[in-house]
């Protein structure tokens, strides 16, 4: 979800996020991008009501923030849905899936395309060392995604 937050910020959205355990290097990356981090999942984090909420797959019914969001009728969508609608439509997507090596392979593919002058967008589960960030929109119709 941190990588989605980075993309949303790059696209001009005002972004904040909640997590039970926020720690480096992702917390450092988000703070460097000007993304507010809130510890824990509290209904208070949704006040004032945001325009939209991107819900990660680690929270479900019974979570205080999820229950508040549903009871208040706040607009929400999943991370993959947001990514598909805001970033991936009309792009050539190169998705890495599997049990092991997704982050490494995604990072390598994004760097190969970058080195070839293609300026791809990418969303990687970790911070890609060659880029110093886990996601960017990119300047081409190519987008590399770690799909898990």
pLDDT digits (tens, 9 = 90+) for 55-92: 988 899 999 999 999 999 999 999 999 999 999 999 99
With a cut of 80, say whether residue 147 has pLDDT above it. yes
Share of the chain above pLDDT 70, in %: 100
Q: From CA 26, how far away is CA 4, in angstroms rounded?
A: 12
DSSP state of 50: P
Which residues, 6 or more positions from 71, have their beta carbon under 8 angstroms from its beta carbon? none
Cα angle value 88/120/135 (rounded, 5°): 70
What is the structure's pLDDT at 57? 87
Enter the pTM of the model: 0.92
Locate CATH 3.40.50.720 in the chain.
2-83
What is the structure's pLDDT at 94? 98
CATH class of segment(s) 2-83: alpha beta
pLDDT tens-digit map of 4-48:
999 999 999 999 999 888 789 999 999 999 999 998 899 999 999
Q: What token pair was written down for 144?
A: 């590399």
């Amino acid at each position: 979800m941190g990588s989605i937050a980075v993309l949303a910020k790059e696209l001009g959205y005002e972004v904040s996020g909640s997590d039970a355990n926020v720690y480096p290097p992702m917390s450092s990356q988000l703070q460097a991008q000007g993304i507010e981090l809130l510890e824990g999942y509290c209904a208070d984090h949704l006040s004032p009501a945001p325009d939209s909420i991107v819900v990660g797959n680690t929270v479900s019914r019974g979570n205080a923030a999820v229950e508040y969001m549903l009871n208040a009728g706040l607009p929400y969508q999943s991370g993959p849905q947001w990514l598909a609608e805001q970033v991936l439509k009309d792009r050539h997507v190169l998705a890495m899936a599997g049990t092991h090596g997704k982050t490494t392979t995604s990072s390598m593919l994004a760097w190969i395309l970058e080195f070839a002058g293609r300026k791809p967008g990418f969303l990687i589960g970790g911070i890609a060392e060659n880029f110093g960030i886990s996601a960017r929109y990119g300047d081409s119709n190519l987008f590399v995604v770690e799909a898990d």
